[in-house]
Amino acid sequence: MELALNPNLIAEASVPETDLIRRAQQGDPEAFDELCRQHGDRLLRQAIALCGDVSAAEDLVQETLVSAWKSIRRYNGRCKIFTWLCSILAHRHGDALRRRFPTPWSMLLGFRRQAAADYLERLADPGPVPAAALEQSEDSQRVLRGLARLPHKQRVVVYLRFYADESLEGIAQALGCSVGTVKSRLFNGLERLRSVSPLKETDQI
C-alpha cells in the first residue's frame, strides 16, 4: 500500500474521523489513506519545521505514516489522532538525530533554508491551526533551534506542547505516561532551553 500523499485519493470528507479510525483499525487501507490525506499537510509542516529540509521532511512523514499504519490498532482515542501522529513523528525524528549528527535550522546552507521556508509558505492550511501560526513566529523558531540539544523525552514533550499545540493531558495519553511526568519533562526541557537560548516570560507550561 502506498502511504505517500496521493493527489488521486478520493476524498471522504463526509465520513466522520472516528469512523475512518475504526475502519483503519479493522485493516481498511482506504480509510487510513483518507486520514493521511486529511492530516498530511499539517504533518508535513511539522516535519519541515523539525528538519529544515523539504526532502528530509518528506522522508520523515513517509516513515511516520508507515509506523502509524503498523500500529494503528494501538491508538486508543484518548488524544487527538493528529497528536498521536505527531508523537510518532517526533520519535522518528529523534531516531534520525541519533543516527547522524543533527543539522539545526540555523546551520543549514542558505539555499536549503530558504527552499524549506518557501515550501512552508506554499503548503495549504485548510483551517485555523494555532501551531501553524506559532511555527512562523520568532519565539517558535528560537525554541525550535534549541530542541535538538534536549534529551529525547524532554524534546518530544516540548514539541507536542508548543508545536502540535496539545494539552498536557493529551500529551500524557499520546506518550502513555502521567500528567505529572509530562509536567516534569516540560519544566526541565524549558529550563534547559532557557540556558542555551533565553526564553521570554510568556513561554510558560
**In contact, 130 and 137? CB cutoff 8 Å:** no
Please report the pLDDT score of residue 40 as a whole number. 92
Which residue in this structure is represented by grid cell 520519535? 91
Residues contacting 178, CB < 8 A, separation 6+: 172
Q: What whole-number distance in Å separates Cα of residue 64 and Cα of residue 43?
A: 9
Angle (nearest 5°) at CA 123 between 120 and 126: 130
The 10s digit of each residue's pLDDT in 25-76 is: 999 999 999 999 999 999 998 888 787 788 888 999 999 999 999 999 999 9
Residues contacting 188, CB < 8 A, separation 6+: 154
The 10s digit of each residue's pLDDT in 146-196 is: 777 788 899 889 888 887 778 899 999 999 899 999 999 999 998 888 876
**In contact, 143 and 182? CB cutoff 8 Å:** no
Please report the pLDDT score of residue 23 as a whole number. 96
User: pTM of the full predicted structure?
Assistant: 0.67
- Give the range with max mean pLDDT: 41-50, 77-86, 195-204: 77-86
Q: What whole-number distance in Å separates Cα of residue 159 and Cα of residue 143?
A: 9
Identity of the amino acid at 101: F
Neighbouring CB atoms inside 10 A of 123's CB total 13
**In contact, 49 and 131? CB cutoff 8 Å:** no
